[in-house]
Amino acid sequence: MNVLVAMSGGVDSSAAAALLLDQGHEVTGVTLRLWGGTSDSGCCSVGDVEDARQVAAELGVDHHVFNMTDEFEARVVEPYVSAHVRGWTPNPCIECNRHLKFSALLGAADRLGFDRMATGHHARIVASDGGPQLLRGVDQAKDQSYVLSMLTPTQLDRLLLPVGELTKSEVRTLASDRGLRTATKAESQDTCFVSSTIGRRGFLAERTTLRPGVLVERSSGDVVGDVAEVELVTVGQRKGLGLDSEGRRRVAVAVDPVAGTVVVASPEESQIDEVRFDQSSVTSTGAPLLPGEATLVQLRSHGRAMPAVFDEGRVSLLEPTDPVAPGQTVAFYDASTADLVRGSAVVAP
């Protein structure tokens, strides 16, 4: 099979390319040039592109760089800024996956005549009578099915995830045995287009006006403090919001930059028992969830899955949890087969 491997310059995609070669496939590496500005982390830095190129050379495969900076700006960066202006907290990695890596790049792979595309994500794709299914990776600590929960059956059918059956330790051992330069490379953790030198505040300040605001106690309506920049506060945040009358950290439960307010509550009062989502954002990796159907939901990349009941525009949680910010992703997993991804949606206020 002729496979286009998305190589980010990290150890996982390096190992994915090596595994496919070992399985007898014809492999071509590609790295996306996504961000034209300053970057010192994630998969957008110059060093990461060079690492991918060098690994491809070590493996003896062709390597290309696709320039998608315009698409990245329009689909990821601009919505990231706009979301903060609205008081939302977006997940740029998922939006990059949605619009670029598994849309634009997969489309390019099809046009160029590749049989499949592959990435180094820790997740699995298995065949079933109803079509391909997305499952959690074998290494539960490194599982990335959450950030792939927006994939469609058509996309899954064109995709290979070679490292999903391996633990992270096994991936590093494989890369080391092959003498790949990325074998011991640290994982990137930050938003790739936000450099560590300026941070999120500096990045947003360059693109929009950050305004001060006040903290409003939800139960009383009283103003209990202030914040320097409302746009930087995230629903669920505790740090920097002061203490309530009992000495506990306040929790942000709503952010309204237009009004210049952050609504806060005590940890107990901030707990939620449902999550609302934008119905138009719902995607299904297989059979769609039906109203009233039991499911498991994951609200954070490395959060635990919680039992819930799916409905149109919301899921009811069977146990309370910390608030989740609008703009984040709620991923749905099968209630009986907890590893099976059923789809996702974008959280709404």
Domain boundary among 246, 265, 284: 265
**Domain membership flag for residue 197:** no
- pLDDT tens readout for residues 309-320: 999 999 999 999
12 and 96 inside one domain? yes
Residue 253 in any domain: the answer is yes
Query: Does residue 88 sit in the same domain as residue 172?
Result: yes
- Could you tell me if residue 199 is inside a domain? no
- Asked whether residue 168 falls in the same domain as residue 279, the answer is no
Catalytic residue among 43, 44, 93, 192: 192
Domain that holds residue 72: 2-121+161-177
Is the pLDDT confidence value at 90 over 90?
Answer: yes
Report how many domains make up the chain. 3
Residue 143 confidence (pLDDT) above 80: yes
Is 200 within a domain? no
pLDDT band at 39 (very low <50, low <70, confident <90, very high): low
Asked whether residue 283 falls in the same domain as residue 232, the answer is no
**HEC readout, the chain:** CEEEEECCCCHHHHHHHHHHHHCCCEEEEEEEECCCCCCCCCCCCHHHHHHHHHHHHHHCCEEEEEECHHHHHHHHHHHHHHHHHHCCCCCHHHHHHHHHHHHHHHHHHHHCCCCEEECCCCEEEECCCCCCEEEECCCHHHCCHHHHCCCCHHHHHCEECHHHHCCHHHHHHHHHHCCCCCCCCCCCCCCCCCCCCCHHHHHHHHHCCCCCEEEEECCCCCEEEEECCHHHCCCCCCCCCCECCCCCECEEEEEECCCCEEEEECCCCCCEEEEEECHHHCEECCCCCCCCCEEEEECCCCCCCEEEEEECCEEEEEEEECCCCCCCEEEEEECCCCCEEEEEEEECC
| Domain co-membership, 255 together with 285 | no
The pLDDT value given to residue 196: 80
Residues 43, 44, 93, 96: which is the catalytic one?
96
Q: Is residue 341 part of a domain?
A: yes
CATH number of domain containing 111: 3.40.50.620
Per-residue pLDDT, 193:
85
216 & 86 share domain: no
Regarding whether 332 and 257 lie in a shared domain, the answer is no
Structure confidence at residue 43 (pLDDT): 58
141 belongs to a structural domain: no
Task: Look at residue 65 and tell me if it is in a domain.
Answer: yes
Catalytic: 43?
no
Return the CATH number at 328. Answer: 2.40.30.10
Statement to judge: residues 229 and 117 lie in one domain: no
Residues 241 and 289 in one domain: no
Same domain, 305 and 277: yes
Q: Assess whether 44 and 171 both reside in one domain.
A: yes
* Residue 96 is a catalytic residue: yes
pLDDT digits (tens, 9 = 90+) for 148-198: 999 999 999 999 999 999 999 999 999 999 999 999 998 876 688 888 888
Q: Does the pLDDT of residue 280 top 60, yes or no?
A: yes
Residues 6 and 42 in one domain: yes
Residue 41 lies in a domain: yes
